[in-house]
Amino acid sequence: MNWKKVALALLLVLVVMTVAACSKETQESPAQTEPKPAPVNEVVEIEFWHAMGGSLGEELNILVDDYNKSQDKVKVTAHYQGSYEELLTKFRTVGGTKNAPAVVQVFEVGTKYMIESGHITPVQDWVDRDNYDLSQLEENILSYYTVDGKLYSMPFNSSTPALFYNKDAFREVGLDPDNPPQTFNEITTIAALLTTSDRYGFSTIGHGWFFEQLLATQGANYVNENNGRTGDATEVLFNGPEGLKIFEWINDMHLAGTYGYFGRSWDDARAAFQAGQVAMYMDSSAATKALVENAPFDVGVTFIPYADDTERHGVIIGGASLWMANGISEAEQAAAWDFMKYLQTPSVQAKWHVNTGYFAINPQAYDDPLVQQEHEKYPQLRVPIDQLQATKKSTATQGALMTVFPEARQYVVTAFENMYQGMDPKAALNEAAELTNRALDIYHRTK
């Protein structure tokens, strides 16, 4: 046997094995792995839950589509979730999880619940990160959603009440249609003149929001702790002198036959006004354009009335705002914030105001030619804007915060209805207060 050849062969095998091993180690070493290219232009998709049905939902979908077309970084998908109450119930089941929508629309009386839920990120966090200038937005709208100096949600569809009246009916009885009533007593007097066998002089929709407004314009708080702004509300104040004044004022007209009640339905009250069954009533400013267009008479709009022995303080914002969920990724939150900012731009707010009747959150929108043309055609649209901007900022006009607000509204409406059935105004109002205080007590003992 040639041992030299054998040794050489073994040496070659050893070299080959060593090279192969080194090659394998090189291939498997993380340090030597070829890096994967980062995703380019990856689109962040987010969900937006809302409670806008019908024509309002159609207008909202247009805004969402316009936003999606305006950029290629974010895609927003809007989902209608039913009424405000139904939407909030659904959000409660997913809040704080990855299944929560990035953006959710919540009515104003859900503010306290959302803050305490632990399921949201205050938009103030993103305002600060982005150095976003809040001064460009309407202060009297921002104030409702601002607690302890922090903006918790971004206002979106905002409205206030206004007094709507039939100018033709005013002319019919010799009243100046351009000089509508401003105080409780003036309403009482003019309602008597406007009442006929088939027409009431005055009405209100069966909704607690209007009682809150008539209270606020007297400068009165709805609950203690500065309307729940400096601490958790534990007791209602709405059955004080200012609240009783409202009940007795309406009851006097009811007993005189000059006040008509058409129930809790907004549509029924609007139908009664347009049919000439009532000459004056309070409604949301968002209904202004539709009422002017659809009524077969000349429609006037003015500020809501205030008590004669007080000065006018103004109104509370109504409607809803947009909240950011906290159980989602930072990329999704950034996308939600970008969407919210887009909705506040003057051009978008101009379209929203003109097509829906809601206020422009960004007042610069009122300078848009589209809005100016609309206001020239419908000067009534300017009245609620003037009323809002003339409102004096206080805890009363800022609006109350409490978790049982939806229940309180129902108790107040029931109190009015009990009064129409003959119950003493003070007793009816006190009953609503007692029921609300009980609900507050239960909440604080169980939270």
Residue 136, domain CATH: 3.40.190.10
Residue 123: pLDDT over 70:
yes
pLDDT on residue 248 = 98
Residue 341: pLDDT over 70:
yes
Confidence of residue 98 (pLDDT cuts 50, 70, 90): confident
How many angstroms separate the Cα of 220 from the Cα of each of 162, 337, 389? Answer: 19, 35, 19
Q: Which domain holds residue 442?
A: 161-314+404-446
- Does 434 lie in the same domain as 372? no
- Does 154 lie in the same domain as 54? yes
**Residue 178, number of CB atoms within 10 A of its CB:** 9
Residue 395 in domain: no
- Does 274 lie in the same domain as 322? no
pLDDT tens, 265-316? Answer: 999 999 999 999 999 999 999 999 999 999 999 999 999 999 999 999 999 9
Burial 294-332 (b: 16+ CB within 10 A, else e): ebebebbbbbbbbbeeeebbbbbbbbbbbbbbbbbeeeb
Residue 422 in domain: yes
Residue 39 in domain: no
- Does 363 lie in the same domain as 408? no
pLDDT on residue 32 = 36
Confidence of residue 41 (pLDDT cuts 50, 70, 90): low
pLDDT on residue 327 = 84
DSSP 52-65: --HHHHHHHHHHHH
Residue 49 in domain: yes
pLDDT on residue 200 = 98
pLDDT, mean over the chain: 91
- Does 421 lie in the same domain as 275? yes
Confidence of residue 143 (pLDDT cuts 50, 70, 90): very high
- Does 327 lie in the same domain as 223? no
Q: Which helix (H) or strand (E) holds 318?
A: strand 318-325
